[in-house]
Amino acid sequence: MVSRGVVKASAVAASLLAIAATSSDAQPPQGQRPLSLEKLERISDYLNGQVAGGKIAGAVVLVQRHGKPVYLKSLGVQDVTTRTPMSPDTLFAVYSLSKLVTSVAAMMLVDEGKLALDDPLSKYIPAFADVKVGIDSKTAAGEPVMKLVPPVRPIVIEDLMRHTSGITYADTGGDLIRQAYGKRDIFIDNPDNATVADRIARLPLSCQPGSTWRYGYSTDILGRVIEVISGQTLYQFMRERLFVPLGMKDTKFVLETPGEWARMAEPMPHDAVMGKSEKARRARTRWESGGGGLVSTVKDYARFGQMILNGGELEGRRYLSREAFTLMTTDKVGPGSGVEHDDNYYPGDGFGFGLGFGVRTGIGVLKPPRAGSIGELKWDSGSGIYLGIDPKEDTVYILMEQTGIERGRIVPTVKKLFYEAFED
């Protein structure tokens, strides 16, 4: 028996697909390339193959051009146990796409003069005044040992936003840094943002502030800074300033009702990577992780993506000043920045990094080059979610799935098929 909620979601999908099928928005203004809806169907064919092969339970894909959906497909099921069909209302754990929202929220405070990019982090979280940098060294007997040295300069807010703070994750950085993070159970006893920040401040930095792009808890610490300045929880601030005005009614950190849980996408039972991550995320009900804790729908995230494509504005309301938007979307870790890239440089070949967003700056060195346009903004997540924003083509495209083990193969294939649908 199909539930009333699924019928409603299917009706929404059908309505949007009808718009896509009849809209002329696939045909661009002069100077832009036409987008073939027929070729976009190759994305559905590919993803349906992944579903049929048992690689993923399902996925939702949206291509939005000139502010309107031209391609929306819900494929497979959101849970292989319940067999509930995927829909535009399916909820996904978006993991690192949370970082984009947190970064925008912080830049809103910069716009208001309540936060500055060169402010020392310790101004808002005093525990970071005493942070040390961990350097791999050896004893006289040749045994590995971590040497703690003072930072050459304080961590500043810009470091948090461009991932140059030296704050890392437990699986990145040198061996001894990883061991230090592994020994300290940051999330024991279901801590809130304030406690998490305090515990991370007592761990060594993996490198000198400003020296290296390194992924880690930087955006989570930025979320705590937002709380300190606003006097609200991170979710309260995001809801008031972004989610409600943008119409992102389903985006939050913690699901609260049986109806919400019934719409939640689940990973495949054999996906141990995603299963372990989801079990941990769902248990941390007090930690509003600005770096990876949000749950959202394709419809909600398309509203956010369109606001970014519009330069920080949507439907007559401005969320970011033009100056703030430019700062966020300009490469700050490329040549001349003095910032090194470690082996896990997630923006990838051809991309720089601004304040929260990957920014396509060139074709890169790979042969053939990766699909995309110069100036494209993007980010993806450990759960297989991808957001691409292409100003050149006036397009937002989103892939939503829940997979830890297949995402590295599926995401670039879907992106390639998307760009192949443009006709020269």
Any idea which residue has 């840094």 for tokens? Answer: 177
Predicted confidence at residue 309, as pLDDT, reads 98
- The superfamily (CATH) of domain 4-102+233-420 is DD-peptidase/beta-lactamase superfamily (3.40.710.10)
393, pLDDT greater than 90 = yes
pLDDT, tens digit (0-9, with 9 covering 90-100), for 331-363: 999 999 999 998 899 999 999 999 999 999 999
Identify whether the C-beta of residue 72 lies closer than 8 Å to the C-beta of residue 62.
yes
Annotated domain spans of the chain? 4-102+233-420, 118-230
What's the pLDDT score for residue 179? Answer: 86
3-class DSSP assignment, residue 358: strand
Query: Residue 72 forms beta bridges with which residues?
Result: 62
**Pair 95, 280: CB distance under 8 Å:** no
289 CB-contact burial (10 Å; exposed 0-12 / middle 13-18 / buried 19+) = buried
Contacts of 422 (CB under 8 A, 6+ apart): 33, 34, 35, 36, 393
How many whole angstroms separate alpha carbon 161 and alpha carbon 179? 25
Query: Could you give phi then psi for residue 257, rounded to 5 degrees?
Result: -125, 155
Residue 13: predicted pLDDT: 45
E strands, 52-209, are 58-65, 68-76, 92-93, 133-138, 144-149
In this predicted structure, which of 5-19, 233-247, 320-334 has the lowest mean pLDDT? 5-19
Q: Taking each helix axis as running N to C, give the angle between helix 98-111 and helix 298-309, from 0 to 180 degrees, rounded to the nearest 10.
A: 40
- CA 282 to CA 294: how far, in whole Å? 11
- pLDDT tens digits, one per residue of 11-47: 444 444 443 443 344 555 656 899 999 999 999 999 9
**Assessment of whether the complete model's pTM goes beyond 0.95:** no
Which contiguous run of DSSP H or E holds residue 309?
helix 298-309
3-state secondary structure of 336: coil
Q: Which helix (H) or strand (E) holds 107?
A: helix 98-111
β-pairing, 340-341 with 212-213? parallel
118-230: CATH, from 1.20.58, 2.40.390, 1.10.760, 1.10.10 = 1.20.58
Q: What's the token pair of residue 274?
A: 């995603």
Query: Tens digits of per-residue pLDDT, 51-77?
Result: 999 999 999 999 999 999 999 999 999
The dihedral through the CA atoms of 287, 91, 108, 308 has a sign that is: positive
